[in-house]
Structure 1
Amino acid sequence: MSMSGIDLSANMLSGEIPIEMGNLSHIKSLNLSNNFFTGSIPATFANLSEIESLDLSENRLSGSVPWQLTRLSSLAVFSVAYNNLSGCLPASGQFSTFDMDNYKGNNNLRSCTSTSGPMAPNGVAGSVADDSDPILYVVSAVSFVMAFWATAAFVFCHALGRRVVLKL
């Protein structure tokens, strides 16, 4: 009850993370980063009701981030960067506040919310071509106008264009 955290980082630990670690309901911090853990993130971590910091980065974890972790209302720091995670990122609860850097290095992990696209190959969320780029809008508008006037010029100024229009 008096233990505030566990730091097992960089200890060359391997195998799956024991699901029993989810029974440590009173710890505030758990750092398992920089090891060789495999398998999935235990859904029992949702029982870490007082956890404020959970670092699982730089392991070999696979599967998805369990949706059950969205119940961790005290979680302020969370990182699963540089693993082999896949699937959708949780978007509710505290997870809606986490930066995309917390997930980088997981090429098959993606945001499934309607406001952002899949993670790009470099691990950054959002679409690969940023749709909010004003240059993209300008180029698109200029292309549309040029295509319109080229079509109008062909129809009204070129003999073949006039014949096609008159036959309609």
Structure 2
Amino acid sequence: MDNDDPPFMYDTPYDLQGFTFSTKGNIYAYSRNFFNLMFGIDLSGNMLSGEIPWEIGNLTRVKSLNLSNNHFSGRIPASLANMSAVESLDLSHNELNGPIPLQLSQLWSLEVFSVAYNNLSGCIPDSGQFASFSMDSYIGNKNLQNLSLLGNVCSGSPGSGRAAPAPENVDETPDDLILYVVCASFVLAFWATIAFSFSHPCGRAVMLKL
């Protein structure tokens, strides 16, 4: 842009048309100044890639966020927990990895949630609204573990929010036991031979000759 060009302005010479937006059965109507009242964002199916920007968490008035059917990778940003008004969050059909941030369980308004068909791992949160979501929300993530099916014990992963259980004592293998028995038998036999040699007259005579 040349220095003589006027600065870019958000005002447009044409009239912006209003529209309606529906979420959770509620219909919201917006007038031409809808960009000041952004309650829903749908970027699904746009071949977007890279990590989900953590700044999205600053959209505290957004009620619906749909980022599905893209190529987003990396981890789900914990900053999404700041979207206190969000009611619907769809991150399905991407390439996200790592655990589901436990901070998302603080989203008390969240009623629709899906991270299906990603590469997520670790434990599925079982508190807050997450206790009401069906397994359809997580299908297609083979490394996600359901706490309710594991007796509230999860192997855990870095950042999963649950500590891995302490490893149990591993029993010795049969080969180790056999080795211990052989060594103990050898030591006992050695000392038994020495004791016999000094206690028996013949043995004592042989030891003195040596």
Query: Structure 1-normalised TM-score?
Result: 0.67
Say if 2:110 is the partner of 1:72.
no
1:115 Cα shift? 4.8
- Supply the distance in 1 between the matched residues of 2:59 and 2:111 (Cα, whole angstroms): 17
SS across alignment from 1:21: helix
In the alignment, structure 1 residue 24 sits paired with structure 2 residue 84 = no
Distance 2:65 2:147 in 1: 27
Assess if the C-alpha contact under 8 Å between 1:110 and 1:117 holds in 2. Answer: no
Q: CA deviation at 1:111?
A: 1.1
Q: Which moved more, 1:108-117 or 1:4-13?
A: 108-117
Bigger radius of gyration, 1 or 2? 2
Give the counterpart of 1:101 among 136, 141, 166. Answer: 136
Letter in 2 for 1:11: N
**1:3-82 equivalent positions in 2, closer than 5 A:** 3-82=38-117
Does residue 85 of structure 1 match 2:120? yes
Q: How is 1:106-145 mapped onto 2 (pairs within 5 angstroms)?
A: 106-113=141-148, 115=151
Give, in angstroms, the shift of residue 2 of structure 1.
1.3
Structure 2, unpaired ranges of 5+ = 1-35, 155-210
Structure 1 residue identity aligned to 2:140: G
Pairwise CA distance, 1:112: 2.0
**Against the structure 1 CA distance between its residues 65 and 78, is the aligned structure 2 distance closer, same or farther, given a 3 Å change threshold?**
same
Show CA shifts across 1:99-144 (max 9, x none): 00110000000112355898xxxxxxxxxxxxxxxxxxxxxxxxxx
Larger relative contact order (Cα-Cα within 8 Å, sequence gap ≥ 6):
1
Measure the CA separation in 2 of the matches of 1:4 and 1:66.
23
- CA drift of 1:79 comes to 0.1
TM-score (norm 2): 0.54
